[in-house]
Structure 1
Amino acid sequence: MLKFLFKPSLFYLLTLGILLPSINTNAQVYREEFGKNRIQYKYFNWQFLESNNFEVYYYDGGKDLASKTIEYLESDFSRITEAMGYFPYSKTRIFLYNSIVDKQQSNVGIRGLDFTIGGQTNFIKAQVEVAFSGDFTAYKSDLIYSVSEMLVNEMLFGGNIAEMFQSAFSNPIPTWFTKGVSAYIAYGWDRQSDDIARDYVLSKESTKFNNLNEDLSIVVGQSIWNFIAQKYGQRSVSNILNLARIIRNEESSIGKTLGITYPQFVQEWRKYYADFNNIILENYQVAPSSSVISSDKAKVKKISDLKFNREGTLLAYASLDNGKYDVRVINMNSRDELLLFKGGEKLLHQEFNENYPLLSWVDEFTLAILSVIDGRNVITIKRVGARGEQVLPIPNLSQIQSFEFKEGGKLAVMTAVINGVSDVYLYLVNRGSIRRVTNDRYDDRDASFLPSSNIIVFSSNRSSDSVYVEGPNTIKEVNVNQFNLYTYDLDLVDSVFGKLTNSLAIDATPYALDSENLFYLSDQQGINNLYKFQMKDSLSSQMSSYALSLKDYSLDPINNRLAFITTQDSEDVIVLQGIEDLQQAFTPVTPRRAFETSKILAELRRKRLIESNVKDTVRANAIGEIAKPVQPKIDSLKEGAIDTDNYVFKNESKVDSKNYKFEKPTENTQPAVGRSFLSIYQNRQAENKIRGPLNYENRFQTDNVITTFVIDEIRSFSQLLEIQMADYLENHRFHGGVLVPYNFKSGMDIFLEYEYLKERFDVRAKYYRKSIRREDRNTLMSQRYNLNRFEVGLALPQSSEWRFELSPFVSQTKFIDQNPLLLLNAPANIIPERTASYVGFKASIVYDDSFVAGVNVHEGTRAKITYESHYKANADAVGFNNLEVDLRHYEKLTKGVYLAGRFFYGRYGGSAPKQYLLGGVDNWAFNKTISTGDEKDPLLFQTLFDNSDILFHQFTNLRGYDYNSFQGKNVLTLSAELRFPISQLLEGSDTQSAFVRNLQIIGFYDLGSAWQDLSPFKERNNLNTVEIQEDGSPFSAVINNFSNPWLQSVGGGMRTMFFGFYSRMDVAWPIRDFTVQTPRFQLSIGYDF
């Protein structure tokens, strides 16, 4: 890392960060910093492969997967670009992770989606990160989705700098439009989108999609694009995207392309899936709400696993919430629910493995929970009703897809990944070791034991039952539409897997009720339903006919009960029914499945035709070789042939290099055949070569640029210019900016920051310069105050939410009195210049589990405790310290109503404590400041008076009051807001107006006080006690005026986007000395706390 700091390129970037006219931070230079963390558990040694259109980066253990990935992407590149009608400007960089756990250690996107004042331009990067998801079937589609999403973003929001700046001032295009089309290109018309779309039109009346949560928005958007392709043709997809690229309006682009109004289009989409629903509901049933047994205690929308214990008395399930999970157990007799285990971390805007945790009962009251802790797969053994737990590490395996304990609890079977290949493994509990069962490139899933045997049953997309077949060589060859059930006997050394089912569908989640009956889930008819396979006669029969797919299930053979997970009102629920209610069903194929089956059969016919043609060609060539007559040997040269043994040059003269004449080029008399653009493009593709591996180098690119203005409390209107740069992986980040007052006379701020985030510890180096200049033409007063500070910080993240920071620093203040009269008649012993130097440290504990729920809306909690100490380093310096506690909480009360609260306490101490100035708001236009003009006034500026403390004083917000209404070395404020985002309250009325879309109404209450030594919590305090003493008099008096030491205000306000800047207008009624005063209007820019 130290060598890197001295590279010439880095010096150039440091200089560039200061001198560029547009520079980026977060327009919140003076506001508290929180933020999430990423923890690195391993070192990534990156290399990459390069082709015509892609660069695929990989690290140890990922070379084979990277090679297959780049080959597959090149083969599918034409289809992707043709589907969206867009060809990218540059190569796409793919960073390939061996597992989702590894990808969670990436620093890309760590800054999240938090707010800036305005004027921010984000730069679109031709780069994606993809994690191998456990098998090639899922990875194949996930890869195309990630690439498609990046290309759509580049297409709509800027492939060049001009388009990026234009998109910064355009209305945002919603998720259902952008990510929906990416999902359609990757997954097509799949079962999940079909289920969710039909459930949505059945249960939701609203046809406005902008306020849906992201997951639902993507799938609904996918169904919308599928409808467009099915009804209006595939070409309409690219036409709509290209028109949206121009006019930046998704509704108009759809309406103008299809020739109908947008409301008509939405009604057509709704009717399209409603008609399918009506057809399906004639032959399928809906799970009754009365049979739902899952409670709403988990408050999440996804349930990942479901398991009865062998006695059927307890039912365990896992509920997910963005990476966090709860494991709950239902007592089937009393229906009481117990929270048994909590784990995981809330990961926002970051991929997490939705398959974890996995559950399996060891015995009647002992549950095994498989999850990831600190980047490693472990099994946590928990006993119901008992404290404590046992943790068993699982070596070598990653991306575990399924696991089940055998009776006795000494052996478990798993499907997991090693080196990018999914296979079946055994886990020996006593030894803590694993043993491989299958060894090929097929995808294996859902392994379990047949009762009282050593026979494993699992689902696989293998096309052969031989154990010696290696599987597909390329990703393109992977069969994603056909998974059948297989068995393998651990006691027999056999070269054949036992194949149980043989269908053109995905058969999954096998569970043997007994030695004769095997249940499993299958989408043979288009919807995942329960099937039964009879071992004796090898027959399968459909046993349920639900209209929405079963996601998982568990059987209780002792009590003849079935529990399964399905969807109701876009949320996962657990439904309970009796096994005796399962009757053999015969349901028709859904329209989606009919369309899918026709494509599968057409592809099979195409492959068979190719194989047949190849065989015919080989056979014909073989026959031709046999029938080919023997050619006689040639003893003499044909006329005109070259005799290499007796060759004579025509011209024996030497070449005249000084006067050489080239021969005239001969004209090509052959016609140019097959040189169309398409053939040239195809030839270019045919010549594609994969180069590498090459070593990864730190190349930097601009993340975003901010050009905005700040209303400084002392220097008034100022221009803020910022830039943020990072390498591809965002392990190295540069952040710099300047703040220049518009009058160019009040001073200037410069800051530059470098962060190194690649290791377990995060390192930061920061330089900050602040300059304040004050002038008074009447008195010729002219003073300059400068602060220079350099710090090196070290942060230790404990989780994605917690971190500890320590930053040693050196700083220096300089006071210069520039009054011209001092040059003519300076008083004796008066030095108009003074420099104070300090050394010190800053320590912080930061907690942040909040997330962005809308414009100026958060949910969650933020907290920061900071202690900073300045020690004198020269004679003119006087030491001081500072302690601050900042606590914020954001709670969603109901739809469109949020409560936000903030507690802030600060205290200066030491020999020269500084001041908190209470009153006003950040970036307040037409602000007012109270200044008493006496020596106690922290804002006093006069000739020969060194007020360098102004460089450390802090303005603290309190609405309804002027700046510096109260001052003291202690401050405490409380703020509460009710926030009403209009766009969320009026779900049924989407608007393209940025003003209305970002409009928010608030009500607030503020309380605060600042004091020196006597706390306002005491009856006698600094604010109601006045000491009177005459000069030369031995007597003094202390008077209590019974003033209220607390300032209060109550009021309301409006927030919205105005000319590209988020603006606030508040009307506050100050409450001072128990009296409600005249309301104050305050106009400001920027976001609330």
Structure 2
Amino acid sequence: MRKVFRAFCFSGLLLPGLAQAQVSSVEFGKNRIQYHQDYEEWSQYESQNFITYWYGESRYIGQAVVQIAEYDFASIERILEHRMNDKIEIIAYTDLTDVKQSNIGSEEIFLNAGGQTKIVGNKMFVYFNGDHNDLRRQIREGIASVYLNSMLFGSNLQEVVQNAVLLNLPLWFKDGLIGFVGEEWNTDLDGQLRDLFNSGAIEDFDSFAEKNPQLAGHSLWYFISQQFGKSTVANLIYLTRINRSVESGFLYVLGSTFSKTTETWKSYFSQRYKGELSLANASVTEPLPIKNKRNLPYTQAKISPDGQRIAYVTNEIGQTKVFVYDLEKEEKKLILKSGSRNPFQDPDYGYPLLAWNPNNLELAVVYEQRDVPKLMLYQRATGEKLVEDLSTQYQRTYSIDYLNSTDLVLSAAVRGFSDIFIYFTKTRQTQRITQDFWDDLDARAVNLGNRRGIIFSSNRQDSIFVTERMDTILPITTFDLFYFALDSRGNELIRLTRTPDADERQPFGVDTTWFSYLGDENGVVNRYQGYLEDYIHHYDRFVRFSNGTYLTFHVDSALTTQLDSTALTQIDSSWLEPIWKERAITYPVTNLNHNILAQHAAPKAGKLLLTQTRDQKNKLIVETLGDQGKDSIQLQASIFREKQRAAVDRQKNQPSILPPTPSPILEEKEPVQIQAPPPQIEEKKDSASIDIDNYLFQSEFDEDELPSVLITEEPAEATPLQRKQESAAPVKKKTGGTVLEFNPSRIIPYRLKFRTDFLTTQIDNAPLFDGLNSFAGTPVDFGFLPPGILLKANFKDLFEDYELEGGIRIPTTFNGAEYFLVFENKKKRIDRQYAVYRRALRFPGDTRVTTPIQPRSENTTFLALTQWRYPFDIFTSLRATATYRMDNTTQLATDTISLQTPSYRENRLGLRLEYVFDNTYDVSINMKDGLRYKFFAEVVKRFDLELGDQFSASFAKGFMGVVGLDARYYQRLLKHSVFAVRLAGATSFGSEKILYYVGGVDSWLFPRFDSNIPAPTTGNFAYQAVAPNLRGFQMNIRNGNSYLLTNAELRMAPFRYLSRNLRSNFLRNFQIVGFLDIGTAWQGPTPFTDENPLNTKIIPDPLPPGTPIWVKVKYFRDPIVVGYGMGFRTLLFGYFFRVDYGWGIETREVQKPRLYFALGTDF
């Protein structure tokens, strides 16, 4: 025992933090489902700092990722003041649904694998949601996350192991910093924080960070950068790592304690938002009385054309429901439910999408089912639902609206670009409206000036449809509104807004004159209205020649430079004609102190539907759709917007020490206003001062002086001058570097490559993988193996579709070894696993033999299996396992007799079916929340196999069958306590059976066997197995071919209640546990049958062969035993230790208490 203990401690001290915290031998697990074959072919592109991968038709998403990543790389390095030598790998996905199908990160992400060293990788993955600005945010956050891992935990194995153990950072530190680097601050974050401060919900930073670590941390890093400068951020990270303490980092860098800094943070934002509160108004309309006890977000809300009903969508961590709410009856009806609650993956707020038919009788719902977009037409009067597949060309749909009673206008992604389409529901055909790399979202059908058209939000910089390819111009600017007239179908759009530092979204038509939208020009999302008016865009000079032909010139063109001397002499007459175009006049109609999340209207009914957050609760509000004058409201810019504009001005005015270089991203010019003839150009105004109530939209460059165009028609039909394409605007909110020129010839196919995922060295005696724990094998130590030194390595390919794991375990008794190799293929929907395992152990022979040399035997087990898993969803799967097992017992040669003793070999084939459900998630180590269970059935058939000169195989009569279950439920209590209960049982039947021993604990370090309980003398047992946990007893307190156990534990982390920021791993993971175990095992139909040998004892025991006299004693024993007690768990030397002290109750008598030492988590 001393050798075992010394070996155990030596391994823990040698590799602290590397030992794997073992789970229970019963395997559950969740699933990833692949619904399509798009992942078959991947491409890659290697640039200076990144290697980017994409698949299928996401080539242009991959290109955007490459260019954006390289564009922002230098600025992130400047913020963090850190450099890395290794290139970062970025995997680009078409949408969030495809991300969820990926196998990357499919392991238990919250499991603290004590003893498992993760080789720190540079891998990140992003997806496209129709907005390249959001794609940019994901890329910046991913780069920041990789950099922070390198900065905080180091780049080599020694630094990683050391810092992973000693550096315990709060969630707000890293999550907030990643968000800050991704986007320093924005209107949405400012609005969330403003609402929290104005409602009095923030008492102090610590409590706020515990509830919302990402927003709390983001706001603190933003505050530090504003008050102390951005260079302070990198200094804080560095000193936090060096001192391994957040408190020390703040004290040394800022000169004040962390608590003092957070007090200043609270005071800063309180005064900031209090000052803004007096300059704006609060909503006074009462929200609708819709019950929303869980405060679920409303991802879509649309009011019917008659204003009597509201269709809305709720999303509960992935489970979506579509309701129709009657405003008069105040009743709601569920019409669609899809998805399931999934706390492990990001919820998809993009689906379902809603649109009311103008006939008021039909509601269109676009949702996704198994990665296939569906269009459901719900008939309000009858409740009938017509469901069909949406066109497969759409990779993703972002918005829908009815163009007329049968056709829809969509904003959708095709080949990685979001464009506008008209979808004809009768024929399922599509008509494309836009086709370029700019983002086109929020398409709405309108009727302005009795002309049918589409208003949409886009970050395009030109109002003319021009075929462009994404080369050195990136679509990462702010969103403006554009109008496309369907009747004329021209190649030019009407620009409705131009705000370089603000976004305009969610437009709709109020009537034939007015349109409305949401904008954040002053830093708060308010409602705006606008209308179109005609104006003189410019003047053209018409020249008539003596032969009757015409030429047209720009008004500023000099005829002497455009015409030769001969043509000048032939001019008959010349005049100016105005070129009329349309422009939008817009103004705000609200001045709120909180953001409007969404809007929709029923213009004919005069009702407006708003989605807002009030007192931290999501609300739907119906107001009257009024008509306010444009001079009635003056908006005051928020402090965030003022600081943002001031920073842009400082950047523009900052002198450059480098010579100017040509850049494809140019500064936007001030629009030029043209008056009536004779043409006079107004003086340019200060670009920092814009009159939002009176400005025009025109090309950012001067008009081209194109060659003369011969006009043979009348002057009224003369061709107007074509404009030069407008230039790109400044990049939104963040300054990057030079845009990388993408070279398609550098795209190469991805080739399969493996890399080390983790290496493990640990001490344990748990079954190595599922499939070996069904049967314990031959009767050696009654199913308990001695602790062994396990060396294990795991290899995965880049996308984690293929996994190879191998290892060896040597018992501390050094009497054998175990080897295993496992290969998994998870590329397609059915996951396949192939494994081989071999164990060879040597044991002393019969101790009663008196020969000089002690006889020894070697027991060898070889197992080969293949398992196929069919997932129904992320939580549920059906698993089938086919097994071949060979057990061989050989008498080692110590004399002539043992040399001639033949080996005994058994061969068996098995088939096992399992139904597994698992929706648990880890609150912390050994604390879960949720439900997991497994039902299984297994059939084993013995056969004889001869591989000598004459091959033969024959199956024996009979079979062995096993059925069982293991169900576990975890209920979280308070913040750091969990109540866990388990029900487990199994029974074996057939010509061969399994003998189950009840008692003891799982992964018991020093097991003890109770020899006083007799084993059944009948039953033809082929194997014997241990069925823990039943504390208070030794193993074999009950036995039989069936068992049933229930365990209940109350787990509490006391030190976490005393302090939020515990630096010690020992104290942070220390848990006090109270437990109650009830169980039994029996032979025969029930525990109370006469076949149960529990109440029988043979004297003497063991009975020597040939004994003429023996006594069989019968007495009463209660078959059900109970154990209770308490214990503690903690993490020490990278191992999760379990210590239990329990009393057993047998036949209503309390037994002497017993102490248990074990490894591993859970039961």
Q: TM-score band, normalised by the shorter chain?
A: 0.7 to 0.9
**2:1162 paired residue number:** 1088
Aligned to 2:909: 839
Give the partner amino acid of 1:787.
Answer: T
* Mapping of residues 642-657 of structure 1, within 5 Å: none
What is the rounded CA distance, in whole Å, between the counterparts of 2:624 and 2:259 in structure 1?
Answer: 45
2:697 corresponding residue in structure 1: none
Of 595, 607, 611 in structure 2, the residue corresponding to residue 549 of structure 1 is: 595
**What is the aligned partner in structure 1 of residue 455 from structure 2?**
457
Are 1:37 and 1:801, in contact at CA under 8 Å, matched by a contact in 2? no
1:310 aligns with 2:305: yes
Structure 2 partner of 1:39: 34
What per-residue deviation string (whole Å, max 9, x for no partner) do you get for residues 384-420 of structure 1?
6837552332321123221122452x11111111122
Match of 2:508 in 1: 511
1:793 is matched with 867
Pair 1:980-2:1052 in alignment = yes
Percentage identity across paired residues of the two chains: 24
The one of 1079, 1082, 1086 aligned to 1:1015: 1086
- What's the CA shift for 1:209? 6.4
**TM-score where L is the length of structure 2:** 0.77
TM-score normalised to the size of structure 1? 0.82
Match for residue 996 of structure 2?
916
Mapped contact 2:856–2:891 kept (Cα < 8 A): yes
Q: Which amino acid aligns with 2:353?
A: L
Aligned-residue offset at 1:29 = 7.8
Q: CA RMSD in A?
A: 3.9
Residues 448 and 24 of structure 1: CA distance in aligned 2, closer, same or farther (over 3 Å): farther
Question: Which residue, out of 391, 395, 411, partners 2:392?
Answer: 395
How much does 1:973 deviate? 1.6
* Partner secondary structure for residue 748 of structure 1: strand
Matched, 1:971 2:1043: yes
Other-structure match for 1:626: none
Going from structure 1 to structure 2, the CA distance change for 1:549 and 1:1025 (only over 3 Å counts) comes to same
- Determine the structure 2 residue equivalent to 1:342: 337
Q: 1:22 to 1:279 in 2, by over 3 A?
A: closer
2:129 aligned with 1:133 = yes
1:300–1:320: 8 Å Cα contact kept in structure 2? no
- For residues 975-1013 of structure 1, the C-alpha deviation after alignment (integer angstroms, 9 at most, x for no partner) is 233333447756x73322223322334443322221121
1:197 aligns with 2:217: no
Distance 1:919 1:872 in 2: 29
- Which of 686, 693, 699 is the matching residue for 2:753? 699
Range with bigger deviation, 447-456 or 137-146 = 447-456
Contact 2:70 2:740 in 1 (8 A): no
Measure how far apart 1:1049 and its partner are.
2.9
1:598 to 646, 671, 696: 646
Unaligned runs of 5+ in 1: 1-19, 620-681, 940-946
1:98-497 equivalences in 2 (<5 Å)? 98-115=94-111, 118-201=114-197, 202-208=200-206, 212=210, 216-286=212-282, 291=287, 293-297=289-293, 299=294, 301-362=296-357, 364=360, 366-383=362-379, 386=383, 390-408=387-405, 410-450=406-446, 454-468=452-466, 470=468, 473-474=471-472, 477-481=474-478, 483-497=479-493
Question: What SS is found at the alignment partner of 2:355?
Answer: strand
Q: What displacement does 1:97 show?
A: 1.8
Residues 907-948 of structure 1 deviation map (CA, whole Å, 9 limit, x = unaligned): 222212012221121223444321249664999xxxxxxx99
Q: Is the 8 A contact 1:126 1:154 kept in 2?
A: no
Would you say 1:900 and 2:900 are equivalent positions? no
Does structure 2 conserve the Cα–Cα contact (< 8 Å) formed by 1:24 and 1:724? no
CA separation of 1:255 and 1:287: change in aligned 2, threshold 3 A: farther
AA of the residue aligned to 1:807 = T
Q: Classify the secondary structure of the residue corresponding to 1:914.
A: strand
> Do the aligned residues in 2 keep the contact of 1:889 with 1:901 (CA within 8 Å)?
yes
Deviation at 1:874, TM superposition (A): 1.0
2:1070 & 2:415 partners in 1: Cα distance? 51
* Secondary structure of the corresponding residue to residue 106 of structure 2: coil
Q: Report the equivalent of 1:709.
A: 763
AA paired with 1:339?
A: L
Instruction: Please tell me the residue identity of whatever aligns with 1:359.
Output: L
1:794-809 equivalences under 5 Å are 794-809=868-883
8 Å Cα contact 1:135-1:421 kept in structure 2 = no
Gap change, CA 1:484 and 1:51, over 3 Å in 2: closer
Q: Matched residues in 2 for 1:305 and 1:885: separation? A: 42
One-letter amino acid of the counterpart of residue 521, structure 1: L
Letter in 2 for 1:132: F
Task: Please say if 1:874 is aligned against 2:874.
Answer: no
- CA distance 1:1026–1:865, shift in 2 (3 Å): same
Q: Name the structure 2 match of 1:749.
A: 818
Q: Residues 46 and 1062 (structure 1 numbering): CA distance in 2 closer, same or farther, change over 3 Å? A: same
With over 3 angstroms needed to count, the CA separation of the structure-2 counterparts of 1:563 and 1:73, relative to structure 1, is same
**Match for residue 61 of structure 1 among 51, 54, 57:** 57
Pairwise CA distance, 1:766: 0.5
CA gap 1:600/1:741 in 2 versus in 1, 3 angstroms: same
Identify the residue that residue 650 of structure 1 maps to in structure 2: none
Kindly tell me the number of residue pairs found equivalent between the two proteins: 981
CA change 1:789–1:490 in 2 (3 A) is same
Answer yes or no: is 1:996 the counterpart of 2:1067.
yes
1:660 corresponds in structure 2 to none
**Which amino acid in 1 is paired with 2:638?**
T
Distance 1:132 1:428, change over 3 A: same
1:905–1:970 CA contact under 8 A, matched in 2: yes
1:1039-1082, Cα deviation, whole Å (9 max, x unpaired): 99664322223444433323322223334343333445454443
Question: Which residue of structure 2 aligns with residue 1073 of structure 1?
Answer: 1147
User: What amino acid maps onto 2:833 in structure 1?
Assistant: R
Instruction: Identify if the C-alpha distance between structure 1 residues 1029 and 244 changes in structure 2 by more than 3 Å, giving closer, same or farther.
Output: closer
**Residue 30 of structure 1, aligned match among 19, 25, 33:** 25
Between the aligned partners of 1:380 and 1:805, the Cα distance in structure 2 is: 34
Would you say the 8 A contact 2:19–2:762 is kept in 1? Answer: no
Gaps of 5+ in 2: 1-14, 535-583, 668-700, 702-735, 767-782, 849-853, 946-954
Give distance in 2, aligned partners of 1:160 and 1:920.
Answer: 42
Distance 1:756 1:469, change over 3 A: closer
| Residues 417, 612 of structure 1: alpha-carbon distance in 2 compared, 3 angstrom cutoff | closer
Determine the C-alpha separation between the residues in 2 that align with 1:156 and 1:188. Answer: 21
The verdict on how the C-alpha distance between 1:686 and 1:573 changes in structure 2, with shifts beyond 3 A counting, is closer
Deviation at 1:715?
3.2
Retained in 1: the 8 A contact 2:16–2:115? no
Following the alignment from structure 1 to structure 2, what is the Cα–Cα distance between the partners of residues 936 and 49?
67
After TM superposition, give the deviation of residue 110 of structure 1 in Å.
0.6
Q: For 1:255 and 1:915, how far apart are their aligned partners in 2?
A: 63
- The residue aligned with 2:1133 is 1059
Question: For 1:521 and 1:287, how far apart are their aligned partners in 2?
Answer: 16
**CA–CA separation in structure 2 for the residues paired with 1:607 and 1:1086:** 62
Q: 2: CA distance between counterparts of 1:495 and 1:714?
A: 79
Q: Distance in 2 between matches of 1:32 and 1:479?
A: 46
Residue 886 of structure 1: aligned partner: 966
**Which amino acid in the other structure matches residue 912 of structure 1?**
E
Quick one: structure 1 residues 555 and 465, their matched pair in 2 at CA, closer, same or farther if it must change by over 3 Å? same
Asked whether the equivalents of residues 721 and 739 of structure 1 are also in contact (C-alpha less than 8 Å), the reply is: yes
Rate the CA distance shift 1:315–1:758 in 2: closer, same or farther, 3 A: same
Call closer, same or farther: CA 1:683–1:222 in 2, change over 3 Å: closer
Partner of 1:784: 858
Alignment of 1:552-951 (within 5 A): 552-557=598-603, 561-568=607-614, 572-579=618-625, 585-600=633-648, 692-711=746-765, 714-745=784-815, 747-775=816-844, 779=848, 780=854, 782-818=856-892, 820=894, 823=895, 831=901, 833-874=903-944, 879-932=959-1012, 936=1016, 949=1022
Cα distance in 2, alignment partners of residues 184 and 240 from structure 1: 14
What per-residue deviation string (whole Å, max 9, x for no partner) do you get for residues 220-257 of structure 1? 22222111111111111111122233333333323322
